[in-house]
Amino acid sequence: MKHITTLLIATLILVSCGGDKKKSVEDIIEEGNLTSIREKRGEVVAKQLEIAEQISLLDAKIATLDTIKRIPLITTFEAKAEVFNHYLELQGNVNTKNLLVIYPEFSGILSKVYVKEGQKVTKGQLLATIDDGGLNQQVAQLQIQADLAQTTFERQERLWNQKIGSEIQYLQAKSTYEAQQKAVNQMQSQLAKTSVRAPFSGVIDDVITEQGTVVAGGQTQLMLIVNLDDMYIETDVPENYITNVTTNKNVLVEFPVLGKTMDAKIRQTGNFINPANRTFKIEIGIPNKDNSIKPNLTAKLKINDYTNNNAVLIPQSIISENENGEQYIYIIKDKNGNNEAIAERVIIKTGKTQGNVIEVLEGVSDGSEIIQEGARSVKNGQTVKVINQ
């Protein structure tokens, strides 16, 4: 505004001077005489200084007569003690203890598959059979020999009890019978491996090998079985949280893909720090009544690692820092009936952050009125006007 006034007055002076026989600025510039141009510039500068001095006098008088001051407008909020829960945010994957690819224990032709994909099965249920290659007949033959050995032993035992025959005959009969029985048991154990049974109750998620295929024991994948009842999330936690992230801590679990959140607890914490990334593992049990949560699903975790029941929270945006690295904010004091007050700078000590708020540990007491909007434009000791809605 002062510059505009100066230009206007200078213009009036130049116009008023045009009434005499003095040459204008344009005329002198057009002549191109350096001496004349410098003289004219000196005249204009002298007039400019004179006008600036007059404007300064006028501004000083206006300042003494003007009763309406320009006061910064600010908004405030009252500091209140409240419960502050800090959450450690991590990401984890859903797992289950009951997820298994079933392999055969016997080599041969997969003669029969009794289940299909999506079918529920119970523990021990027969899922498939493998051709035994005549193993069943061998068991039958061994059983006949075992039966004969048993009969021989029982008769020899009765004679021995009557003191008839020699002890060596009795012991030989007993040894033969026991050896035959063990041979039968061993062969029956091999025969049992031709039957593929469910290791636990669950759902057949995938039938990998079709009926009629030649399978190799311990190598060919037959089918995938899964149980979605006992699900858990596993994740790695930085070692500096080892004292705060403990068993039974509350966890807020979010599944972005499902648009689903739930409350859970840490059911197990690891006892080993991984030297490669300085973390330890935790398990979080999750309910899955509707079977909507699947293995390997990504989950976002918020673990309540810290709680302060009497915390003062302020927006991070109102905090400034001085040349000594100290954090400070502004509060107001001595507020009058016109909502005018004095801004006071206070040094604070902060704690944990959550979102856009931060915990104040020192410097602000409960009930203090803190400047919010306008916090970065006021000065210490400045008069401000509160315009809270």
Question: Tell me: the pLDDT tens digits for 286-326?
Answer: 988 888 899 999 999 999 888 899 999 999 999 999 988 99
- pLDDT number for residue 135: 78
Average pLDDT of the chain is 86
Q: Above 80 in pLDDT, residue 235?
A: yes
Q: Both 217 and 120 in a single domain?
A: yes
**250-267 pLDDT tens trace:** 899 999 999 999 999 999
Q: Above 90 in pLDDT, residue 359?
A: yes
Structure tokens at 203: 């759902």
* Rounded Cα gap, residues 353 and 360, in angstroms: 10
Q: Both 233 and 381 in a single domain?
A: no
Give me the mean pLDDT over the 371-379 stretch: 89
Q: Both 108 and 46 in a single domain?
A: no
* Rounded Cα gap, residues 253 and 92, in angstroms: 10
Count of domains forming the chain: 4
Range name among 76-80, 103-107, 133-137, 243-247 with the lowest pLDDT average: 133-137
* Rounded Cα gap, residues 269 and 238, in angstroms: 12
* Rounded Cα gap, residues 220 and 133, in angstroms: 18
Q: Above 80 in pLDDT, residue 125?
A: yes
Token look-up 């005489």 returns: 33
- pLDDT number for residue 26: 84
Q: Above 70 in pLDDT, residue 364?
A: yes
Q: Which amino acid is at 32?
A: G
Q: Is the dihedral of CA 373, 374, 380, 381 positive or negative?
A: negative
Q: Both 39 and 80 in a single domain?
A: no
Q: Both 158 and 51 in a single domain?
A: no
Q: Both 206 and 218 in a single domain?
A: yes
Give me the mean pLDDT over the 118-141 stretch: 88
Q: Both 219 and 235 in a single domain?
A: no
| pLDDT confidence tier of residue 30, bands split at 50, 70 and 90 | confident
Q: Which domain holds residue 179?
A: 102-224
Q: What percentage of the chain reaches a pLDDT higher than 90?
A: 40
Token look-up 């690891």 returns: 270
Q: Both 238 and 264 in a single domain?
A: yes
Please report the beta strands in 118-259, taking only residues with DSSP state E, as ranges in sequence order: 120-121, 126-130, 195-197, 202-207, 214-215, 223-226, 231-238, 250-255
Question: Which of 275, 307, 339 is where one domain is finished?
Answer: 307
- pLDDT number for residue 16: 46
CATH number of the structural domain spanning residue 298: 2.40.30.170
Helix axes 2-17, 34-65, angle to 10 degrees: 130
Q: Both 108 and 254 in a single domain?
A: no
Q: Both 55 and 134 in a single domain?
A: no
Structure tokens at 25: 């600025």
Q: Which amino acid is at 96?
A: T
Q: Both 234 and 295 in a single domain?
A: yes
CATH number of the structural domain spanning residue 132: 2.40.50.100
* Rounded Cα gap, residues 370 and 382, in angstroms: 14
Q: Both 56 and 161 in a single domain?
A: no
- pLDDT number for residue 254: 94
- Phi, then psi, of 379 in degrees rounded to 5: -125, 160
Q: Above 60 in pLDDT, residue 175?
A: yes
Question: Which of 182, 204, 224 is where one domain is finished?
Answer: 224
**43-96 pLDDT tens trace:** 888 889 889 888 888 877 776 676 555 788 889 999 999 999 899 999 999 998
Question: Which of 307, 342, 363 is where one domain is finished?
Answer: 307
| pLDDT confidence tier of residue 2, bands split at 50, 70 and 90 | very low
